[in-house]
Amino acid sequence: MAMHPQRKQRLIIVIFILVIAGLAAGLLGYALKENINLFYPPAEIVSGKAPVGKAIRAGGMVQEGSVQRASDSLKTRFVVTDFSAVVTVEYEGILPDLFAEGEGVVASGKLGEDGVFYATEVLAKHDETYMPPEVSDALEKAAAKRAEQQEKGEL
Amino acid sequence: MSISSTFHKWGSPRWFYQFSGRLLPWLAGLSLLLLLGGCIWGLAFVPADYKQGNSFRIIYIHVPASAVAMGAYVTMAVAGAIHLIWRMKLAAMVMKAIAPIGASLTFLALLTGAVWGKPTWGTWWVWDARITSVLILFFLYLGIIALHQAFENRDAAAKACAVLAIVGAVNIPIIYWSVEWWYSLHQPASISFTGESTIHPTMLRPLMATLSGMYLFFAWVLLLFTRAEILDRERNTRWVQDIVCGEAR
């Protein structure tokens, strides 16, 4: 369909506005890339990309078996991993309900000279999976059975 | 029917008023049925989540409000472009009608997100990419409402709002992919259009009901607001005076 030349020109202007706005947003996002990220993963902290002694956030997965709780206070120590590096986090305070080993976490605080992250706030980061508890139990049982069978097969 | 004659018909406020009047009861009934039914289904009959327990149930409002808030913005930007290119008055009216609805839905999304965040993440608010970009969406809607009211002249207002709506459309893909592009506290989407969704089917079905209900609710309110705008702008025409006088009698 042939378009009226005036309308065609306006269409080009609309596309031009979109492209320019997209370009501006893209450049802005590129320039602020590091700042838009909410947290540093352990790999960046260990490699020295995260500033020491400044208020930052660290995020990753709480390593299985790493949570140590003090018996006489609310002090907790745990290891956060991104499966390529680990950072030890120390925190005193109430942890969110969803905080657990093997779950995501975002801690805000300061990185010490000793490489330990001293947190003042710990948030739980959950994933996008939702299911009833029975389904989760069934999946766990199936996984355990599979592991058992694998072990038998290896023997 | 050719595109231009469809455009002509749809561009006629009178035709649109009459056509939309027939849709209203269907949209109202179906949207309320799906929203209420989906909420009752999701709140009372769906099992609790294995990790989040009952707090996950707010998903049945949060996800529809967020999705339709974004969909409404895209509709508004497209209406703005149609108005700029074809000078269609009806598109300008649709654009004006969407802004307050979109602002309300975005506010609802932010509110339910905060209420959900407290028991699960441990905080009401965090300045991560997803939450901040949705807050920008809210300000864009407010900006368009304010810009509209700043002009005495209707055509000038529509043109300015259309340009702002188109510029702001850049924010929509940023919201959608923010959780993929940057490290954020907000989790990625559970509903997948290409792969398998990570929400269990028993939980997904009521969500689909409230999601489609929210889209229909948006369409219903959009038609109501647009019709009110049509009556206001065409108040000097014969057909509007006939309707108003007919109802008054």
Asked if B126's CB is within 8 angstroms of A123's CB, the reply is yes
The residue type of A107 is A
- What is the rounded average pLDDT of the residues B3-8? 67
More confident residue, B194 or B23: B23
Identify any residues that bridge with A121 across adjacent strands, giving them in sequence order: A108
Residues B153-170 as b/e (b if ≥16 CB within 10 A, e otherwise) read eeeebbbbbbbbbbbbbb
Asked if B86's CB is within 8 angstroms of A97's CB, the reply is no
- Residue B55's alpha-carbon distances to A46, A97, B49, B58, B208, in angstroms, are 36, 11, 8, 6, 18
With a cut of 60, say whether residue B249 has pLDDT above it: no
Q: Is B197 on the interface with A (CB under 8 A)?
A: no
What ipTM did this prediction achieve?
0.85
- Chain A residues within an 8 Å CB radius of B84: 10, 13-14
Q: What is the rounded distance in angstroms from the CA atom of residue A22 to the CA atom of residue A144?
A: 49
Give me the residue spans of the domains in chain B.
21-248
- Chain A residues within an 8 Å CB radius of B200: 130-132, 135
Residues B30-49 as b/e (b if ≥16 CB within 10 A, e otherwise) read bbeebbeebbebbeeebeeb
Residue found under tokens 């005495």: B152
Residue found under tokens 């657990």: A100
Q: What is the rounded distance in angstroms from the CA atom of residue B228 to the CA atom of residue B97?
A: 9
Q: What is the band of B31 on the pLDDT scale with cuts at 50, 70, 90?
A: very high
With a cut of 80, say whether residue B146 has pLDDT above it: yes
Q: What is the pLDDT of residue B122?
A: 92
- What is the rounded average pLDDT of the residues B85-99? 94
Asked if A136's CB is within 8 angstroms of B121's CB, the reply is no
- Chain A residues within an 8 Å CB radius of B163: 17
- What is the rounded average pLDDT of the residues B149-159? 93
Q: What is the pLDDT of residue B231?
A: 93
The residue type of B4 is S
Q: What is the band of B203 on the pLDDT scale with cuts at 50, 70, 90?
A: very high
Which positions 156-175 of B are in contact with A (Cβ < 8 Å)? 163, 166-171, 174
Contact B58, B115 (CB under 8 A): yes
Region of A93 (left: φ > 0; alpha: ψ -120 to 50; beta: rest) is left
Half-sphere exposure of B34 (CA within 13 A, CB side): 21
SS3 letters across chain B: CCHHHHHHHHHCHHHHHHHHHHHHHHHHHHHHHHHHHHHHHHHHHCCCECCCEHHHHHHHHHHHHHHHHHHHHHHHHHHHHHHHHHCCHHHHHHHHHHHHHHHHHHHHHHHHHHHHHHHHCCCCCCCCHHHHHHHHHHHHHHHHHHHHHHCCCHHHHHHHHHHHHHHHCCHHHHHHHHHHHCCCCCCCCCCCCCCCCCECHHHHHHHHHHHHHHHHHHHHHHHHHHHHHHHHHCCCCHHHHHHHHHHHC
Structure tokens given for A49 = 């990309």
Q: What is the rounded distance in angstroms from the CA atom of residue B158 to the CA atom of residue B175?
A: 25
Query: CA angle, A96 as apex, A57 and B124 as ends, to 5°?
Result: 70
What count of residues does chain A have?
155
Q: What is the rounded distance in angstroms from the CA atom of residue B90 to the CA atom of residue B234?
A: 11
- What is the rounded average pLDDT of the residues B110-124? 95
Asked if A22's CB is within 8 angstroms of B120's CB, the reply is no
Q: What is the pLDDT of residue B110?
A: 97
- What is the rounded average pLDDT of the residues B28-46? 96
Which residues fall within 8 angstroms of residue A30, CB to CB, at 6 or more apart? Answer: none
Q: What is the pLDDT of residue A143?
A: 86
Task: Tell me the average confidence (pLDDT) per consecutive run of 10 residues in chain A, 155 residues long.
Answer: 81 91 89 86 91 92 92 92 93 91 93 93 92 88 86 72
Q: What is the pLDDT of residue B11?
A: 76
CA max distance for chain A: 80
Which residues fall within 8 angstroms of residue B39, CB to CB, at 6 or more apart? Answer: B60, B61, B206, B210
Helix, strand, or coil here: A108?
strand
Q: What values do phi and psi take at A98, rounded to 5?
A: -85, 0
Q: Is A13 on the interface with B (CB under 8 A)?
A: yes
Q: Is B76 exposed, middle or buried (0-12, 13-18, 19+ CB in 10 A)?
A: buried
Identify any residues that bridge with B206 across adjacent strands, giving them in sequence order: none
- Residue A37's alpha-carbon distances to A19, A97, B123, B169, B184, in angstroms, are 25, 24, 18, 22, 6
Quote the percentage of chain A above a pLDDT of 90: 54
Helix, strand, or coil here: A102?
coil
Quote the percentage of chain B above a pLDDT of 70: 95
CA distance A152 to chain B (A): 30
